[in-house]
Chains A and B, each alone.
Chain A
Amino acid sequence: MKIRIPFLFLTIFFLAIFLVFYKGLQNSNIYVPNNNIEKELPNFQAQLFDKDSEILLKDILKKDKFYLINIWASWCVPCREEHSFLIRLSNQKNIEIVGLNYKDNRQNAKNFLKELDNPYQIIISDKDGTNSIELGAYGVPESFLIYNQKIIKKIIGPLNNKLFIEIKKIIK
């Protein structure tokens, strides 16, 4: 039979396509950048939150120490949710939390901290959002775990209990 070969070939071809689509259905269609690759920490000039001076990011972050850079804003609802975890984390010994106040009104931000307490050692303010892009963030809240001036973990979205425990494990 002459027709057999193209027939078989096409059948197998479409079966393969079917399998790919079938597999593809299980993947999420929303893209999230890979979070677990170690990256060099970028260095940039940043505006301090409560003073009118600028500072280099690498000057804040010392070597041999864990830091969590947390991007937050007073208008961001999930930031409220994660705040209690930040407070708990700030009571841990070997970690310091650096806040990055994203596109915020200074007075609102101050009220926010007054209301919910301040877990941050230092706060830098990111008026136009470019600093957080240098870090590799794209929304609020996001957190970056830093060690030896390297980003070792990136958390997109609010912290929760599971992540909190994970961070505690890493810093020990």
Chain B
Amino acid sequence: MASLIGYYSLIFGFCFSFLIIFFSIKNFRDSNFFDSKLISLSFLQFFFVTISFLGLIISFVNSDFSNETVFNHSHTTKPLFYKISGTWGNHEGSLLLWLLVLTLFIFLFLLRSKNQTKQYRILTLLFQQIIIIGFFIFVIKTSSPFNFIFPIPNEGLGLNPILQDPALAIHPPILYLGYVGSSIIFSSTLAATSLNYISREWAHHIKQWVLISWVFLTIGILLGSIWAYYELGWGGFWFWDPVENVSLMPWLALTTLFHCILVLEKRLILTSWVVVLSIATFTLSMCGTFLVRSGILNSVHTFANDPERGLFILIFLFCLIFLSIFIFFFFHKVKTKNINSIFWFSKDASILINNWFMMYFLSVILIGTTYPIFLEVITSQKISVGPPFYNKLIVPFLIPFLLIMTIGPKLKWIKSDLKDKSYLILSLIFSLIFSILIIKNLNTSFLANTILITSAFYLFFSTLREFFKKRLLNLSQNIAHFGFSLLILSILFNNIFSTEIITNMKIGETFENKNFKINFVRVEKKDEQNFKSIIGKFNIENSNGNIEILRPELRIYNQPNIMTSEADIKTNLLNDQFMTMNLVQNQDYFNIRYQIKPFMVWIWLSVLLITFGALITLFRSKYEN
């Protein structure tokens, strides 16, 4: 019943697209004022998609197995929380969620753009409706979440256990808010371009939307990364896996766009570049959806894939790309007055250089991710592009990037000279000595690490100093940049100073090296609602004689019958202790992986700090309005 209502209200919502388009065009031609009917229509469309989404949730909660999606991804013994999160944990449901967010955002946009001109608002609505219609057709035609099965099965197939996790339950909605938020930027940029509406005021108005999507995207990526860290069970948090790269690309584009809009807001230069970036952001989000959902690449984070769906997104994606190219070339007018007035030593120039580096990072990731597809199609050779590639091409470029990030924000707009030079030099020397002290005992490549850490510390100290100079004007920027330096430092230290052992142990055995002693005490068995678990108990004694107890777990889920390994992690401010245990085929020992990962928690905290910086900017710009 619920899925029937869901299906019909989805169709209803689809029909509203046409109503909206009809009335928009009429309003665009005939009247001088924005017709508030359009807001109501947008609301109704959002309303019906919400009903449809609720219908799906209810089918999941009631375990209504006459619904194919529910049958494929749910099970009666699953806890309620995961029944609900299962709604968007699959391809069909997640697309419905996309649609929901798309309609929500355009509704909010109409509400929040009352100061803008009628034509701009209507055109934005129209462009957004093109995207919405595309997704409606996609959902209804190739991936309807409301298909019936007959005869009705008694029991569902269950949700993949590694998805049954709190972080992953909220990760998709947040990430989609970020992805889909960029659709508003896309539509409104196209609208503004066609109307030649791009101005400093427009930049100010669109900045909010950029920040909102950026914040959601960042938190979405963070959650995904935290999940991968403790659930995938090998202690990393970023694998340069296609699915991760695909979320990082729009993030980079969005970050670049944000910085660029700051320049636009100040000076009305770089307009074309802002347009290109806005288009790129959403296109990259869509491109990511294509790469992940079509199954053209394989990754650890698998999605049900189906070439027919892939084909649809592909065609849709390229329609949007061609539409943007067309509008960009035939409507975009460069305001020539200001074009060539960037002084090399100014804040504008440093932001431009930031853009340059960001685009480089983006191109490395884009090329690295898609190159295997091109190579296979053209020469039918298969290769893998993995972490070593990205590290080699990205890490060296971080050094100048960090240095410019230190100096850039200190400069003034348009034309500047450098104040407190002596301090800048002093702190550089200080950072250098500091880094040498830290890594002098290491046998890893000394020079590279020193330079890298020095530049990160340089940014760290100079942003830290700003906090004490009570220049609250740039507080948000400073927090974000400070967070970034902290992030780079934590990642570097995490990489350099991690300790790890992998060993096989029987119950009762002890493993010892010069830093710690691991004693495998016993295993306990437990029965939970939908899985059985085997919990190991390990005593770990470090060189100071402190004893820590870790309890990694193996879960054997009943439906589907899959074994997962749950890491036990002891976190404190300085390091994480991470342990997993695995069964070995036909042996009486377990495979134990024990890691000490310094500054793990700082990686998460620094990302939160960066997000916090962005939030301050967001609220301040709202306050100014």
Q: Do chains A and B touch in the complex (CB under 8 A)?
A: yes
Interface string of B297-323 (1 = CB under 8 A from A): 110000001010011001000100110
Closest to B311 in A: A25
Which residues, 435 to 487 on B, are CB-close (under 8 Å) to A? none
Complex: A104 Cα to B376 Cα, angstroms: 37
Closest Cβ of chain A to B284, distance in Å, is 13
User: Which segment of B88-96, B288-296, B489-497, B572-580 sits at the interface?
Assistant: B288-296
Complex: A22 Cα to B313 Cα, angstroms: 11
A24 touches B586 (CB 8 A): no
Known: A18-B314, A22-B314, A25-B314. A6 touches B586 (CB 8 A): no
Known: A7-B329, A11-B325, A25-B294. A20 touches B374 (CB 8 A): yes
Complex: A19 Cα to B42 Cα, angstroms: 36
B294 touches A31 (CB 8 A): no
Closest to B302 in A: A29
B314 touches A20 (CB 8 A): no
Closest Cβ of chain A to B293, distance in Å, is 11
Complex: A3 Cα to B327 Cα, angstroms: 12
Closest to B294 in A: A25
Complex: A20 Cα to B137 Cα, angstroms: 24
Contacts of B298 in A (CB 8 A): 29-31
B585 touches A103 (CB 8 A): yes
Known: A29-B296, A30-B298. A11 touches B376 (CB 8 A): no
B325 touches A24 (CB 8 A): no
Closest Cβ of chain A to B534, distance in Å, is 19
Complex: A108 Cα to B325 Cα, angstroms: 65
Complex: A55 Cα to B509 Cα, angstroms: 34
Closest to B291 in A: A21
Complex: A102 Cα to B373 Cα, angstroms: 34
Complex: A30 Cα to B310 Cα, angstroms: 16
Which residues, 14 to 67 on A, are CB-close (under 8 Å) to B? 14, 18, 20-27, 29-31
Closest to A33 in B: B382
B377 touches A29 (CB 8 A): no
A22 touches B311 (CB 8 A): yes
Q: Pick the contact of B382: A23, A31, A108 (CB < 8 A).
A: A31
A6 touches B329 (CB 8 A): yes
The A/B interface has a contact count, at CB < 8 Å, of: 57
A21 touches B290 (CB 8 A): yes
Q: Pick the contact of B325: A10, A25, A26, A104 (CB < 8 A).
A: A10
Q: Pick the contact of A14: B294, B297, B318 (CB < 8 A).
A: B318
Closest Cβ of chain A to B295, distance in Å, is 5
Q: Pick the contact of A25: B310, B318, B322 (CB < 8 A).
A: B310
Closest to A7 in B: B329
B586 touches A75 (CB 8 A): yes
Q: Pick the contact of B307: A18, A26, A103, A108 (CB < 8 A).
A: A26
Q: Pick the contact of B376: A6, A14, A27, A103 (CB < 8 A).
A: A27
Closest Cβ of chain B to A23, distance in Å, is 4
Say whether B330 faces chain A, with CB atoms less than 8 Å apart.
yes
Which residues, 572 to 625 on B, are CB-close (under 8 Å) to A? 585-586
Contacts of A26 in B (CB 8 A): 307
Residue among A14, A25, A31 having the largest count of chain B Cβ atoms under 10 Å: A25
Which residues, 418 to 445 on B, are CB-close (under 8 Å) to A? none
Closest Cβ of chain A to B128, distance in Å, is 22
Complex: A20 Cα to B314 Cα, angstroms: 11
Q: Pick the contact of B296: A14, A24, A108 (CB < 8 A).
A: A24
Complex: A22 Cα to B312 Cα, angstroms: 10
Closest Cβ of chain B to A150, distance in Å, is 24
B330 touches A3 (CB 8 A): yes
B318 touches A103 (CB 8 A): no
Complex: A31 Cα to B384 Cα, angstroms: 10
Closest Cβ of chain B to A47, distance in Å, is 15
Contacts of A22 in B (CB 8 A): 311, 314
Contacts of B318 in A (CB 8 A): 14, 18
Say whether A105 faces chain B, with CB atoms less than 8 Å apart.
yes
Closest Cβ of chain A to B317, distance in Å, is 9
Contacts of B378 in A (CB 8 A): 20
B373 touches A21 (CB 8 A): yes
A103 touches B296 (CB 8 A): no
B322 touches A24 (CB 8 A): no
Closest Cβ of chain A to B81, distance in Å, is 32
Complex: A3 Cα to B305 Cα, angstroms: 40
Closest Cβ of chain B to A167, distance in Å, is 26
A104 touches B586 (CB 8 A): yes
Contacts of A7 in B (CB 8 A): 325, 329-330
Closest to B378 in A: A20
Complex: A108 Cα to B295 Cα, angstroms: 39
Interface string of B492-510 (1 = CB under 8 A from A): 0000000000000000000
Complex: A7 Cα to B327 Cα, angstroms: 10
B307 touches A25 (CB 8 A): yes
Besides A20-B374, A31-B382, 11 new A-B residue pairs in contact (Cβ under 8 A), listed by A number:
A10-B325, A10-B329, A11-B325, A18-B318, A20-B377, A22-B314, A25-B310, A27-B376, A27-B377, A29-B296, A104-B586
Pairs A-B, 3 closest by C-beta atoms: A29-B298, A24-B373, A7-B329
- B residues whose Cβ falls under 8 Å from a Cβ of A: 290, 294-298, 305, 307, 310-311, 314, 318, 321-322, 325, 329-330, 373-374, 376-378, 382, 585-586
